[in-house]
Amino acid sequence: MKTYLDQLAIFGGTTAFEKKLHVGRPNIGDHTRLLDRIENAINRRWLTNNGPYVQEFEARLAEFTGAKHVIVMSNATIALEIVSRALGLSGEVIVPSFTFIATAHALQWQEITPVFCDIDPKTHNIDPSKVEASITPRTSGIVGVHVWGRPCDVDALQKIGQHHGLKIIYDAAHAFGCTHKGRMIGNSGDAEVFSFHATKFFNSFEGGAVATNDDELAQKIRLMKNFGFAGTDNVIYIGTNGKMHEITAAMGLTSLESVDTFLATNYRNYKLYQEGLSDLPGIQLLQYNEDEKNNYQYIVVEVDEVQTGISRDDLVKILWSENVLARRYFYPGCHQAEPYRSYYPHARLLLPETEKLTQRVLVLPNGTAVGAAEISMICQIMRLAVERGPEVVLKLQV
């Protein structure tokens, strides 16, 4: 197979990178600390059911976020399911379609209808001015998603929620370590949900957590994630199994010890991409507000095909041919995935901004697995693709 650079006679016959560069390659903290913790857990023979590492992880996360309660779970999807059930959501819930499918599935799984709302093209987050128009007598809540870790318009959503008596959950899967108006994410709405999946900059292999300042809600969520057990032989709610186990919590604790390094690496890389992609017509790197804390984990580029002369999808093809596994996000949008595509075939007409953005966005590799030289090369490939793309892109087979 001819690579892109090969066709431009820049490198003869090899890819720019020997090894594949992935988006979401896991960051891993101190191996020795992790293995010691795992050994301790095994020696203790307390492997799950609210073990000491889970308790310590929850306490550390509460300290880190400033939230009164942080309840860890097996993943963010189950956390979203549990929190929406604990809040009594039913009927319809307003969500963006520009999100990972789990945001919608967590509702639909409980036969709650996700009503897709369009986004603000500047922020990529749910557009509060369009939320009001989606409210019906069946609406019970709103799930805002802090896409790329950049917070939703929390104040506007809060006002709408209060005015219409709606519950508000934030899917903060991307937003661990970020702030909104100087306050750590984890303190807004009725609850916020983090993901610690391996692809997130801060991971516990799999994992998630609900953060809330509501005592009663926290208590209910704790029961629900453990089958509804309020004590031995005493089940007082319908519940499920959302428990995190000790090995996962050991990874979470170890990741937390390195979180500053992960953040610093992401920030350094973001600045390198900013420099490398500046002045590239039609290529717009998503900017983070540096007055806030950001985790900088997503390097997001919007491709304007009219200006670049090359489509986002062809750019992705070129990058893949060089072993840069850039990803389209959140392509094609939840409303275009089953079962929603069949349930609401006309949804796309109500989501023009979502439709446009899913055709423009690509995400580049970041994290501790990517270095300065690699970023410089990725930016050079993109520059070449924009300058010379149409010459060879049609011949490229990947």
- Output the DSSP codes for 70-126: EEEES-HHHHHHHHHHHTT--SEEEEESSS-HHHHHHHHTTTPEEEEE-B-TTT-SB
Out of 15, 65, 75, 212, name the contact with ligand PLP by CB under 6 A.
75
CB of 243 to ligand PLP, least distance (A): 14
Q: Tell me if 71 sits within 8 A of 196, measured CB to CB.
A: no
Q: Where are the alpha helices (DSSP H) in 135-258?
A: 154-164, 215-224, 246-257
Angle between helix axes 31-44 and 52-65 (nearest 10 degrees) is 140
Out of 173, 211, 378, 381, name the contact with ligand PLP by CB under 6 A.
173
Give dist(CA 192, CA 257) in Å, integer. 22
| Number of separate helices (H) and strands (E) present in the chain | 15, 17
200 vs 317, beta carbon nearer ligand PLP: 200
Q: Tell me if 52 sits within 8 A of 245, measured CB to CB.
A: no
Q: Does 81 bind ligand PLP (CB under 6 A)?
A: no
Q: Does 329 bind ligand PLP (CB under 6 A)?
A: no
Q: Does 145 bind ligand PLP (CB under 6 A)?
A: yes
152 vs 272, beta carbon nearer ligand PLP: 152
Q: Which stretch binds ligand PLP (CB under 6 A): 128-136, 166-174, 226-234, 385-393?
A: 166-174
Give dist(CA 101, CA 78) in Å, integer. 13
Q: Does 295 bind ligand PLP (CB under 6 A)?
A: no
Each residue 189-208 as x (binds ligand PLP by CB under 6 A) or -, in order, gives ------x-x----------x
Q: Does 368 bind ligand PLP (CB under 6 A)?
A: no
Q: Does 77 bind ligand PLP (CB under 6 A)?
A: yes
Give dist(CA 270, CA 285) in Å, integer. 9
Q: Does 255 bind ligand PLP (CB under 6 A)?
A: no
**Which residue, among 330, 313, 292, has the nearest Cα to 385 in the 3D structure?**
313
Q: Which stretch binds ligand PLP (CB under 6 A): 8-16, 74-82, 285-293, 314-322?
A: 74-82
Q: Does 134 bind ligand PLP (CB under 6 A)?
A: no
Give dist(CA 191, CA 179) in Å, integer. 15
CB of 197 to ligand PLP, least distance (A): 4
Out of 65, 97, 99, 248, name the contact with ligand PLP by CB under 6 A.
99
244 vs 310, beta carbon nearer ligand PLP: 244
Q: Which residues here bind ligand PLP, judged by CB under 6 A?
A: 75-77, 99-100, 102-103, 145, 171, 173-174, 195, 197, 208
